[in-house]
Amino acid sequence: KGLGFRAGPPGRRPSGLEAATRKLRDVAASAVVALPLLVGPFSAPVLAAPGLEEQLVKNRDTLEELSTIVDKFFLFRPKVKAFDDAKEATKSQLTGDVSVDYARINVLLRKLGDGYTRLVNKEEFMRLIRFDALGVGLLLGPDEVSKEFTVMGPPVPGSSAAQAGIHDGDLILSVDGLRLKGKTPFDLIELVSSNDAPELKVDVQRGDDRFSAVLARKFETIKNPLETAVDRDRRIGYLRLKEFNALARPKLKEALLDFHKQGVEHLVLDLRGNGGGAFQEAVGIAELLLEPGRSVVTVVDGEGHAANFRTAEDANSGAVVKATKGMDLVLWTNSRTASASEVLVGALRDNCRGAVQGTKSFGKGIIQGVYGLKDGGALVLTIARYQTPSGVSIQGRGIEPDLKTPIPRRPVPFAPVPLGKVDFS
């Protein structure tokens, strides 16, 4: 993500983290590239109606498939036993009715004690890919056996991938010349997010046939998450970021360069009410405001393996860093500033790039992976937690502002901020 997903300083990794980094990337290796119930016990055995027997087999396979993912990747390891102990009872209660069985499987998933983990149907899965980093309408994930990237579902209708005739189940061998076999979704996201080109070339395999396609990158279905304003008299540039979607980084980059041309000297980044979004976008935006080699966030999996993501040298982001280097930065937060927003706030404050003003943030310091399932649904699973560059976990705690002052909603107050009162120690 520009994102520069790297573990350790650019060019090398501390030896103690090398194996850990590979392990952590494995956590994401089967998650799709797109990336927070029910109640009541069920007791009596259920027999499937004749027309539902085939679907019952599929639903049981779905349970086994997601169970394997939970056992391998769920963050809170001690909770997995309760899930495993109840799995067979749930399996015996499945009926072959997809909606009923999904509900019962979600009841089982509640044994994990995690409010973010859930099984979603095909329709909700398609909504999740509004964070499509490729921008071509494809949902990709690596096959566990072949390690090749596979199209995990039908391309988005009307997308360039759909128009090119790419099908569910096709193998995507390479993107812009990068061979994908053995790569993780992080590797692919890093490639496409640092590439501002309007098109991507993909090499596709379907059975014994191979072909190439040039796909236009389009994000029309994604809303612009950024609002901007400039106070020319005070030379203040205001940025309100509403969510971290695939347009967040390019729109923010565009606005920052425009502010530079207008002579802006002070920045306000308003993250109030921003509940997060795509983790990689938060890392990518941090890269627009921090020098290369700076720590952005440390991600820790359920076995304690950690990977530190640092900003990478990149020509596209480097121009923005240079343009904004002399600009003061204030980050506005409130109780609904969460998740990816907190990743960005933690990165910028811990690197002394900006001060935080407002009220304490929400405190969501865990990360979900989205795993495409064979039946077209998906498992949203909590797979890791993150720490700010200073080593602080904000899960359940939030980030306290440097300046605890209420901020009016409207109009945008362009009042001077007393940065001299901020404690950066």
pLDDT score for 10? 31
Q: Counting Cβ atoms within 10 Å, is residue 106 exposed (0-12), middle (13-18) or buried (19+)?
A: middle
Q: How many CA atoms lie within 13 A of 260 on its CB side?
A: 14
The sign one gets for the Cα dihedral 195, 200, 201, 207 is: positive
Q: How many CA atoms lie within 13 A of 99 on its CB side?
A: 1
Count of domains for the chain: 3
pLDDT score for 126? 65
Residue 165: which CATH number?
Answer: 2.30.42.10
Q: Compute how many other C-beta atoms are within 10 angstroms of the C-beta atom of residue 209.
A: 8
Residue 357: which CATH number?
Answer: 3.90.226.10
Q: Is 335 a catalytic residue?
A: no
State which of 188, 216, 244 marks the end of a domain. 216
Bridge partner list, 328: 266
Percent of the chain at pLDDT exceeding 90: 54
- Domain range for 184 is 136-216
Q: Is 364 a catalytic residue?
A: yes
Is 331 found in the same domain as 295?
A: yes
Pairing status of strand 366-372 against strand 378-387: antiparallel
State which of 163, 194, 216 marks the end of a domain. 216
Instruction: Give per-residue pLDDT as tens, 314-359.
Output: 766 788 999 999 999 999 999 989 999 999 999 999 999 999 999 9
120 domain-assigned: no
- pLDDT band at residue 419 under the 50/70/90 scheme: very low
41 domain-assigned: no
11 domain-assigned: no
Is 253 found in the same domain as 200?
A: no
Instruction: Give per-residue pLDDT as tens, 39-93.
Output: 223 334 445 555 678 899 999 999 999 999 999 999 999 999 999 999 999 999 9
Is 240 found in the same domain as 188?
A: no
Catalytic residue among 111, 242, 251, 364: 364
Residues 6+ apart with CB under 8 A from 185: 28, 29, 31, 32, 33, 35, 140, 141, 142
140 domain-assigned: yes
Catalytic residue among 193, 295, 317, 339: 339
Token pair 């347009």: residue? 247
pTM of the complete model beyond 0.75: no
